[in-house]
Amino acid sequence: MAKIDLTFRIGGEAGQGVESSGAGFAKALARAGLHVFAVPSYYSRIRGGHNHYTLRVSDEPLEAISERVKVLLAINGECVSRHLDAMVPNGVIIVDPSVDLDEDAVAASGARLLRPDLLSIAEAHGGKVMLNTALLAYAAAVTGLDLGHIFGVIRDNFGKRKSIADANIQVAQAAYDLAQSGHAGLVQPPLRTQSAPVRVVIDASHAFAMGALMAGCKFMAGYPMTPATSVLEYYAKHADDWGLVVKHAEDELAAINMCIGAAHAGVRAMTSTSGGGFDLMAEGLSLAGMAEIPVVVYLCQRPGPATGLATRTAQADLLMAIHASHGEYPRIVLAPHTPQEAYACGIRAHNLADRYQCPVIVLSDQYNATSLWSIEADAFDLERVTIERGALIQGQALDGIESYRRYALSDDGISPRAVPGHANGVYLATGNEHGEDGHLNEEPDVAVAMLDKRMTKLEMVRSEMRPPLALGPEDAKVTLLSWGSSVGPVHEAMLQVNRGGGSVNMRHWVDLWPFPEEGSQAALDGARRLVAVEGNGTGQFANLLAAQTGIRVDQRILKYDGRGLTPAFILRHLEEA
């Protein structure tokens, strides 16, 4: 058992620095050698509303947040009233005395209210906006965290703006000093700095983007859409240093088709979007399928339909990713569950797209895109990356080739793809049905041969799709089924049940399409009671499993309130056999 397992929450209005404080605090905790897992919660607005950041810290690896808060840092009164129910009985609430709040309600909750005069400190050294810095430093003192880690993050965040950094450091020092006269060390055990390997604090979207960069994906076109935009921004930020072409396109129709155009020229290309943007890309995706041009789409889900809950999370586009757009063509759908897997997926998706000359959809979601994990930096092996471009022929490789046929029929459905520019590799690629030479052809036997060729590739891919991860005891009364970003909460729920004498194991899918039918059947062989756990309202994975294998689940635990799955939610709904 972990000696330390503590949850912080910092909250206030949009525009009050909640996001930067939360992310910075996560880094400070990781630098102290502690494990951290952090999840932000935003409204779709730039000012007002109520945003908060939840950070769980432990001396053991973490993969989910807790619903119960030990230390609440409230920038405003709403933060206290909203989260009072989440406080553990002996929790601590830190809030400036200038903030109006219902102290009786706080007293009734059993939480301890601390009201240090932090606003005066912020105003004395910098300004009102530095209240969040004062809160973090005070919290560091209360929990025994070395103030130096807070200083380090302040210096990183403000970089060259030294006067702002200095003012924040003065605010932090003064707030920390103030705590020494009473509340320092109130929360036990203290968050002492531990010796640990260097850890990164990263979310799955950034890890995926880093993987794609390592895979030699040099072209990206996209259109901003929450929660997918961070991949486009990562690419734009690294464009000049890493020789990338990054196009913020006029719309998602342009984005996907620019990618296909670039991929046809011979470079690796990708786009990122969320559900509504993906809808617009569906036609382009079918062109990539028909013309057999590789393209990678990072589909970062949020709740729909239409605009839905724009800044929230869902796992409700699984069946769309698998079935989007007209006609029948091969595609690959992968749902990485951790930043390490997302990084690996950034490489694997491009390799699969090139090898099978088809679209690859990487299915993520807002929870996955914004949850910060602390992971040992060595887990990302940046110096050993395998780039597999499949049957791509370029330059001199075309010298000896006569009567090249782009869509030559073959046993595995894969035809050599020439990079345009060589006299022996002149051909037409088209979204119309075509013969082996690429020219338009409407003959029935050609249509059949070409569809068969393309769909043969799907069966080739299926043979390398991985079965679900198997976690927990081999034999159990209940088997939890999950996919994508929910691995942490489901795994932790499993562990909690088993610690209490229960009997639960889990199967978690990352490779979703083409569905690993045999591997899935084998993984569920002998399972007694199947419970699907998903972030959608209908149980899309459970339906997919039934359609692909005939296996029906016994219970569906579904969360579709726009917030990520938590272990506590799963435990509340789990009906044990």
Partner 1 sequence: MVSHRDYSNEVRPTWCPGCGNYGIWNAIKRALAQAGLAPHQVMMVTGIGCGSKMNDYLHINGLHTLHGRTLALASGFRLANHEMPVIAVHGDGDAWGEGGNHFLHAVRRNIGLVDLVENNHIYALTKGQYSPTTHQGIVTKTSPQGALEQPLHPLAVAITQGATFVARGFSLDIAGLSGLIIAALNHRGYALIDVMQVCATFNRRMNYDWYRQRVYKLEDEGHDPSDRMAALAKALEYPGGERIASGILYQDASQPAYEEQLAALGAGSLVSQPYATRPADDYHQLIAEYT
**Of 26 and 118, CB closest to partner 1:** 26
Cα angle for residues 357, 363, 367 (degrees, 5° grid): 160
Residues 548-577 that bind partner 1 (CB under 8 A): none
Closest by CA position to 178, among listed 107, 245, 114, 86: 114
**Of 38 and 111, CB closest to partner 1:** 38
Q: Does 380 bind partner 1 (CB under 8 A)?
A: yes
Rounded Cα gap, residues 223 and 306, in angstroms? 17
CB of 573 to partner 1, least distance (A): 35
Q: Which stretch binds partner 1 (CB under 8 A): 48-56, 80-88, 165-173, 261-269?
A: 261-269
**Of 135 and 260, CB closest to partner 1:** 260
Q: Which stretch binds partner 1 (CB under 8 A): 13-21, 97-105, 215-223, 314-322?
A: 215-223
Q: Which residues contact 286 (CB under 8 A, 6 or more apart)?
A: 325, 326, 327, 329, 431
- Sketch the per residue contact string, 508 through 547, with partner 1: x for CB under 8 A, - otherwise: ----------------------------------------
Helix (H) or strand (E) holding 57: strand 48-58
Of the residues 39, 64, 142, 210, which one makes contact with partner 1 according to CB under 8 A: 210
Residues 425-454 that bind partner 1 (CB under 8 A): 425-432, 438-440
Rounded Cα gap, residues 294 and 209, in angstroms? 17
Closest by CA position to 137, among listed 119, 152, 124, 150: 150
Q: Which stretch binds partner 1 (CB under 8 A): 14-22, 43-51, 422-430, 517-525?
A: 422-430
Q: Does 257 bind partner 1 (CB under 8 A)?
A: yes
Rounded Cα gap, residues 159 and 286, in angstroms? 45
**Of 2 and 198, CB closest to partner 1:** 198
55 within 8 A of 25, measured Cβ to Cβ? yes
Q: Does 382 bind partner 1 (CB under 8 A)?
A: yes
How many other C-beta atoms are found inside a 10 Å radius of the C-beta of residue 176? 23
Q: Does 254 bind partner 1 (CB under 8 A)?
A: yes
Cα angle for residues 357, 236, 354 (degrees, 5° grid): 10
CB of 194 to partner 1, least distance (A): 16
Of the residues 164, 165, 239, 546, which one makes contact with partner 1 according to CB under 8 A: 239
Q: Does 250 bind partner 1 (CB under 8 A)?
A: yes
How many other C-beta atoms are found inside a 10 Å radius of the C-beta of residue 85? 10
CB of 572 to partner 1, least distance (A): 34
Of the residues 107, 242, 408, 522, which one makes contact with partner 1 according to CB under 8 A: 242
- Give the number of C-alpha atoms closer than 13 A to the C-alpha of residue 468, restricted to the C-beta side: 24
**Of 201 and 493, CB closest to partner 1:** 201
Q: What does 314-365 look like in DSSP terms, one character per residue? A: ----HHHHHH-SSS----EEE---SHHHHHHHHHHHHHHHHHHTSEEEEEEE
Helix (H) or strand (E) holding 9: strand 5-14
Give the dihedral sign, CA 509/514/517/522: negative
Q: Which stretch binds partner 1 (CB under 8 A): 167-175, 218-226, 532-540, 555-563?
A: 218-226
Residues 72-111 that bind partner 1 (CB under 8 A): none
76 within 8 A of 97, measured Cβ to Cβ? no
Rounded Cα gap, residues 349 and 333, in angstroms? 9
CB of 356 to partner 1, least distance (A): 20
Q: Which residues contact 363 (CB under 8 A, 6 or more apart)?
A: 299, 301, 317, 318, 321, 333, 334, 335, 484, 512
**Of 206 and 462, CB closest to partner 1:** 206
Q: Does 258 bind partner 1 (CB under 8 A)?
A: yes
Residues 342-361 that bind partner 1 (CB under 8 A): none
Q: Does 291 bind partner 1 (CB under 8 A)?
A: yes
What residue ranges bind partner 1 (CB under 8 A)? 30-31, 198-202, 206, 210, 213-214, 216, 218-219, 221, 239-240, 242-245, 247, 249-251, 253-255, 257-267, 269, 283-284, 287, 291, 377, 380, 382-383, 387, 419-423, 425-432, 438-440
